[in-house]
C-alpha cells in the first residue's frame, strides 16, 4: 500500500496572542493608483527585495531564539541531548508552516548566521532569494565549518557575480565548489542519500493522484526506461503517457490497470449519496470525491469476484458531520477506537501539518489524568508526537455544540494554535434536506449513537 503526505488537512485557525509590539524593520513601498507600467514593475521588484530582507531577518531571529533556548535549558540543568526539543516545531508554527519543515528553517538560520555571513548579506541585500540561499546552504551541508565558510566566501563575497543567476546555476556552482573543497564528503553524502528513497502520494485535480518515487539515479532511470520502452512497442490507441501509467500500475499491483483495485481503501459515503444526493464522499488519505464517482468505485469492487468489499457504518452528527465519540478504559487505544480517530482526523492534527497519521496518542497524557477516549485522542505524525512531548507543551481538546473535535496546542512560549477535525461526512447546505429526512435523522441518530 502506498501512502504519504498530501495537501488534505483539517480546518486550521491561527490564534494570535498578546506580545510586545515590534516596530517594522522595513518601510513598505507604496505605489499610487495612477502609476504607469514602469512604476508597477519597479514596485514588484522592490517587494521582492523586501521579501528577501524579511527572510534574512527571520533567520537572525531564529538563530537568536535557538541560542536563547539552549542557554536557558542549560541553566536549568537540561541534558545536552534534550536541549531544543520541540523548538523546530515552534518555529514552523510561527511561520504558518508544516512542523516537518521546522528543522530545515532552524538549520538554515543557524548556518547562515553562524557560518555563512556572505550568503546572509546577499540575502539581506536582495541579491539572493530565500530559496537560492537555501540551495547554497543545502549543497554545503556535508562540509566542515571551515570548508563551508570557504564556499560562502568564494560564491557570495562578490554579490555582483550572482546577478542573473537562476536556481539551477546557484545550485550547480555551490555543488561544484563543495566537491572541489571536499570530494569525499560529497561522495559519502550521495551514498547516504539512498537511505532517503521513498514513495509519496498527493491528490491531484479531478479525482487523480500523483505518485512520486525518490530513487537512486540508476534505479530511477531504469524504471523510466522500462516504461518508455513499453510505450514505444505498444500501439493500441492509447497515448504514450497512458501506456506508461497503465504499465506502472500493472507491474506494481500485478493486475490489470482496468481491474478494480484490490487494495483496501477507506471510503466514507454520506447516506444521501445513495438516493441521488450531491454531498461528496471522502476517501481516506485523499479527500472529497464526487459521490457519483464513489458509487462507481463501490460498484466496481462489489461486482469483481476477486475483490473483497466490506461495509462498516459510521454514525456522525447530522449538524456537523463529526464522528460519534467512543470511550475506553484501556491504556493503549483499541483498534476500533484508533480507527475511528484516524478517520475523524484524516491528517496529523498539528496545525499546518499535512503529514499522514502515524501515532494515535493522548492529548493529555495518560500518565496524568488523560483518558483513553476519542475526545482525548488525536492522530499525529511521528515527528509532531515527539515534539509535543518536550517540556512546556500542552494540548487541550473539547467538542463544540455540534460535536466537532477541537485541539488547542500551547507552545512553551505561550503561543496558541487550534485545529478542528474536518467533517468526515460533509454536511449538506441549508435547504437541501427535506422535513421527512430531518425527522428521520432526529429519530435515528440518538438511537444508533447511544
pLDDT over 90 at 252, yes or no: no
The pLDDT assigned to 170 comes to: 94
The pLDDT assigned to 410 comes to: 92
Q: Which of 258, 216, 266 is nearest to 1 (CA)?
A: 266
DSSP letters of 233-297?
H--SS--HHHHHHHHHHHHHHSS-TTSPP-S---EE--GGGGGT--PPEEETTTEEE-HHHHHHH
Distance between CA atoms of residues 313 and 307, nearest Å: 20
Taking residues 10-29, what's their average pLDDT? 45
HEC profile of 331-377: CCCCHHHHHHHHHHHCCCCCCCCCCCCCEEEECCCCCCCCCCECCCE
The pLDDT assigned to 362 comes to: 87
DSSP letters of 78-139?
--TTTTTTTHHHHHHHHTT--GGGHHHHHHHHHHHHHH-HHHHHHHHTTSS-HHHHHHHHHH
Dihedral (Cα; 122, 126, 129, 134), 10-degree rounding? 20
Within 13 A of 446's CA, how many CA atoms are on the CB side?
Answer: 4
Question: 132 vs 252, which has greater pLDDT?
Answer: 132
The pLDDT assigned to 89 comes to: 94
Distance between CA atoms of residues 324 and 400, nearest Å: 13
98, 355 Cβ separation under 8 angstroms: yes
User: Tens of pLDDT along 124-154?
Assistant: 999 999 999 999 999 999 999 999 999 999 9
Q: Which of 303, 377, 394, 367 is nearest to 333 (CA)?
A: 377
pLDDT over 80 at 16, yes or no: no
Strand, helix or coil at 14?
A: strand
pLDDT over 60 at 308, yes or no: no
As given in the structure block, the three cell numbers for residue 161 are 557575480
Question: 128 vs 400, which has greater pLDDT?
Answer: 128
Distance between CA atoms of residues 348 and 92, nearest Å: 15
The pLDDT assigned to 109 comes to: 96
Q: What is the mean pLDDT of the chain?
A: 78
Highest mean pLDDT (candidates 97-101, 296-300, 445-449): 97-101
As given in the structure block, the three cell numbers for residue 259 are 481491474
The pLDDT assigned to 156 comes to: 96
- 323 has which bridge partners? 316
At 240, the pLDDT band (50, 70, 90 cuts) reads confident
Task: Round to the nearest angstrom and report the end-to-end CA distance of the chain.
Answer: 35
DSSP, res 194: G
Strand, helix or coil at 400?
A: coil
Strand, helix or coil at 19?
A: coil
Q: Which of 406, 405, 430, 418 is nearest to 317 (CA)?
A: 405
Q: Which of 215, 216, 118 is nearest to 174 (CA)?
A: 118
pLDDT over 70 at 277, yes or no: no
Taking residues 79-87, what's their average pLDDT? 90
User: Tens of pLDDT along 330-348?
Assistant: 456 777 788 888 888 888 9
- 212 has which bridge partners? 200
pLDDT over 70 at 73, yes or no: yes
Only one residue has cell 510586545, namely: 20
pLDDT over 70 at 302, yes or no: no
Taking residues 85-96, what's their average pLDDT? 93
The pLDDT assigned to 387 comes to: 87
For residue 171, count other CB atoms closer than 10 A to its CB: 17
At 155, the pLDDT band (50, 70, 90 cuts) reads very high
Phi (first) and psi of residue 282, to 5 degrees: -130, 130
At 368, the pLDDT band (50, 70, 90 cuts) reads low
Question: 272 vs 8, which has greater pLDDT?
Answer: 272
As given in the structure block, the three cell numbers for residue 105 are 528553517
pLDDT over 60 at 390, yes or no: yes
User: Tens of pLDDT along 26-35?
Assistant: 567 778 888 8
Q: Mean pLDDT check: name the lowest of 16-20, 202-206, 369-373.
A: 16-20
What length is written for the chain?
450
The pLDDT assigned to 335 comes to: 77
Distance between CA atoms of residues 175 and 178, nearest Å: 5
Q: Mean pLDDT check: name the lowest of 43-52, 190-199, 204-213, 313-322.
A: 313-322
Q: Which of 180, 67, 89 is nearest to 390 (CA)?
A: 89
Amino acid at each position: 500500500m502506498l501512502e504519504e503526505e498530501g495537501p488534505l488537512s483539517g480546518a486550521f485557525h491561527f490564534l494570535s496572542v498578546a506580545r510586545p509590539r515590534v516596530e517594522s524593520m522595513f518601510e513598505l513601498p507604496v505605489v499610487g493608483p495612477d502609476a504607469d507600467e514602469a512604476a508597477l514593475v519597479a514596485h514588484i521588484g522592490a517587494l521582492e527585495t523586501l521579501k528577501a530582507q524579511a527572510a534574512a531577518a527571520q533567520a537572525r531571529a531564529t538563530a537568536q531564539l535557538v541560542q536563547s533556548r539552549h542557554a536557558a535549558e542549560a541553566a536549568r540543568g537540561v541534558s545536552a541531548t534534550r536541549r531544543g526539543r520541540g523548538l523546530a516545531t515552534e518555529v514552523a508554527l510561527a511561520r504558518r508552516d508544516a512542523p516537518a519543515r521546522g528543522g530545515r528553517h532552524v538549520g538554515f538560520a543557524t548556518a547562515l548566521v553562524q557560518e555563512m555571513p556572505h550568503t546572509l548579506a546577499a540575502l539581506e541585500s536582495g541579491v539572493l532569494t530565500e530559496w537560492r540561499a537555501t540551495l547554497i546552504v543545502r549543497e554545503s551541508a556535508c562540509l566542515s565549518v571551515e570548508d563551508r565558510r570557504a564556499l560562502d566566501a568564494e560564491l557570495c563575497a562578490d554579490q555582483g557575480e550572482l546577478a542573473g543567476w537562476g536556481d539551477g546555476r546557484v545550485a550547480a556552482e555551490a555543488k561544484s565548489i563543495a566537491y572541489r573543497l571536499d570530494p569525499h564528503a560529497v561522495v559519502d553524502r550521495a551514498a547516504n542519500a539512498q537511505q532517503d528513497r521513498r514513495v509519496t502520494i498527493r491528490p491531484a485535480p479531478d479525482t487523480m493522484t500523483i505518485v512520486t518515487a525518490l530513487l537512486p539515479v540508476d534505479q530511477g532511470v531504469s524504471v523510466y526506461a522500462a516504461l518508455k520502452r513499453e510505450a514505444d512497442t505498444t500501439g493500441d490507441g492509447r497515448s504514450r503517457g497512458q501506456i506508461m501509467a497503465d504499465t506502472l500500475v500493472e507491474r506494481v499491483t500485478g493486475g490489470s490497470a482496468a481491474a478494480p483495485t484490490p487494495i483496501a481503501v477507506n471510503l466514507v459515503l454520506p447516506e444521501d449519496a445513495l438516493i441521488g444526493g450531491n454531498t461528496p464522499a471522502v476517501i481516506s488519505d485523499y479527500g472529497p470525491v464526487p459521490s457519483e464517482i464513489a458509487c462507481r468505485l463501490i460498484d466496481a469492487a462489489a461486482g469483481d469476484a476477486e475483490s473483497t468489499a466490506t461495509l462498516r457504518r459510521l454514525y456522525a452528527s447530522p449538524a456537523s458531520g463529526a464522528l460519534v465519540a467512543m470511550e475506553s478504559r484501556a491504556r493503549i487505544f483499541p483498534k476500533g477506537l484508533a480507527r475511528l480517530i484516524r478517520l475523524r482526523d484524516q491528517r496529523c492534527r498539528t496545525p499546518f501539518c499535512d503529514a499522514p497519521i502515524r501515532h494515535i496518542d493522548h492529548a493529555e497524557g495518560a500518565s496524568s489524568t488523560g483518558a483513553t477516549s476519542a475526545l482525548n485522542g488525536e492522530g499525529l505524525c511521528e515527528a509532531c508526537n515527539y515534539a509535543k512531548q518536550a517540556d512546556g507543551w500542552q494540548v487541550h481538546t473539547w467538542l463544540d455544540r455540534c460535536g466537532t473535535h477541537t485541539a488547542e496546542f500551547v507552545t512553551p512560549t505561550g503561543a496558541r494554535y487550534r485545529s478542528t477535525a474536518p467533517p468526515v461526512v460533509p454536511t449538506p447546505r441549508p435547504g437541501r434536506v427535506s422535513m421527512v429526512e430531518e425527522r428521520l435523522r432526529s429519530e435515528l441518530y440518538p438511537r444508533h449513537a447511544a
